[in-house]
Amino acid sequence: MCLCHHDGRLDFALPIRLLSNPMPSRLLAPLVRIDVSPRFDLFYALKTLHEPAPFSASWSKEVRSVLPGKFESAVQRVAPHAMMWPMLADALRDEKADPSFDEMIHIIRTRSDESFQRAVLSGVFRGKGVVDDLITKRMTLRSAVAAEAAQQNALMSIVGLTPFREAQATATAFERIVSTPKEYRNDLADVLEMFWDSAFTSTWKSLEPRMQQRAARMREEFAGGSVATFAHEQRLPVVFDEGSRTVTSSRGAKLFSFKSLRAIHFLPSAFNDSRFWGAYTDKSGSTKLYFPIFDATLIDGFVVLPQTRTISRPTNDLDPALGFRALGDTTRYAMASLLAKSPRTSVELAKEFKVSKATISHHVRLLRGAGLLDEEQTEHGVALRLDRAALEALSRAAAEEMFSSVEHSVIKRTRTARSSE
């Protein structure tokens, strides 16, 4: 038995039944997209970290060895129950299928309080009007939980809301979503950034190429064929019934008509062993389906490297384009100039530049990704300084590449409407 995720909700699902149509068609093929993104696995990894499974035991142990001491206390304020993490992934429900990490953080910090509340709470509370009543304060959290429990909503116990106790950590976290959503959103973004910067950026660096390979195989396996057949082969927890032209649960309950589907996204996943899936329906009635397809072999054998210290790289391994991109922004160039003179923490930089912590984190991440920062843990936090040797090596690498006799193809880059810089 596994947990399946649809329209922001979780349901128990029995093992998948066989397809009823012996001649699969290509009715839904144009709707299929196969993506690679940390959009879901970042949240599933946090669930896995707090509920370790045999496939992830080695990864969890390594990650815990590099997480900062304040990480667990920060998690307790945001998601004290591991099952909250898959639901928090719904915060991105109305966004594009494959956001980068920086885009994910930007979305969480900037979306409206009400849209954030609806996205997350609707994944837990199913009763008609309950989410509206919670947001408008017409119903207390205690009353909402009692109403859901009376309707036998199993999620109340799954996420730790029953038996209900106001002082319990899970109840406190949900109360913060209801009462202080902006503060909660920023705390959520802070936890995600802390996890990414200290451990998951290394995980994703190892995972992404493997996921791209897995996605390429998935495209070959699908090759514009039948979604019903592909879903069956991938052991997805739903059935695309081509006879009735509906998406059904494993029990046969009709969930969505084919004509209501707008897109079907398949994503390789290293952490979705519970086989969660998502279905997001907009106001027009169009639905996007998301299926992170679990493959435990994706995290076999790679090492999680601590991110609080820059790892030396040989000159010929530097990426000049990445380095110059990091320094090409006037704010980052000014930051680099200050850090060349004396070390500073991110908090100190935010005060000096009079910008938010989120903005500083974005700039620091790009400088770090270019290999230009040296970092050291101090009693006041992580002290950042510009790595002179790395900067000089970057200049040499750029000169060697530009003046090389080897012909290089011209790389053309375009900017999206929302620049990652």
Give the CATH number of domain 315-402.
1.10.10.10
> Where do the domains of the chain lie?
4-298, 315-402
Q: What is the pLDDT of residue 306?
A: 55
Task: Please report which residue ranges of 126-180 form alpha helices under DSSP H.
Answer: 130-135, 141-150, 155-158, 169-179
- DSSP assignment string, 25-93: --TTGGGEEE---STTHHHHHHHHHHS--GGGHHHHHHHHHHS-TTHHHHHHHH-SSTTHHHHHGGGGT
Q: What is the pLDDT tens value at each position of the chain, 421 positions in all? A: 334 444 444 443 333 333 344 444 678 999 999 999 999 999 999 999 999 888 888 899 989 988 998 999 999 999 999 999 999 999 999 888 899 999 999 999 999 999 999 999 998 999 999 999 999 999 999 999 999 999 999 999 999 999 999 999 999 999 999 999 999 999 999 999 999 988 899 899 889 999 999 999 999 999 888 999 999 999 999 999 999 999 999 888 999 999 999 999 999 999 999 999 999 998 899 999 999 999 988 987 665 655 443 333 333 445 777 788 888 889 999 999 999 999 998 888 988 998 887 788 888 888 887 888 887 767 666 788 898 888 877 787 777 767 765 555 444 444 444 444 5
Provide the 3-class DSSP secondary structure of residue 5: strand
Cis preceding linkage at 163, omega within 30 = yes
* pLDDT tens per residue, range 48-84: 999 988 888 889 998 998 899 899 999 999 999 999 9
User: Do 84 and 173 form a contact (C-beta atoms < 8 A)?
Assistant: yes
Query: Of 376, 372, 362, 386, which Cα lies nearest the Cα of 313?
Result: 372
Q: How far does Cα 83 stand from its chain's mean position?
A: 15
How many whole angstroms separate alpha carbon 320 and alpha carbon 35?
28
* pLDDT tens per residue, range 242-295: 999 999 998 889 999 999 999 999 999 999 999 999 999 988 999 999 999 999
User: Do 199 and 67 form a contact (C-beta atoms < 8 A)?
Assistant: yes
User: Do 131 and 137 form a contact (C-beta atoms < 8 A)?
Assistant: no
Query: Of 104, 192, 39, which Cα lies nearest the Cα of 418?
Result: 104
What is the pTM for the complete model shown?
A: 0.71
Strand (E) or helix (H) holding 375? strand 373-378
Neighbours of 419 (CB within 10 A): 7
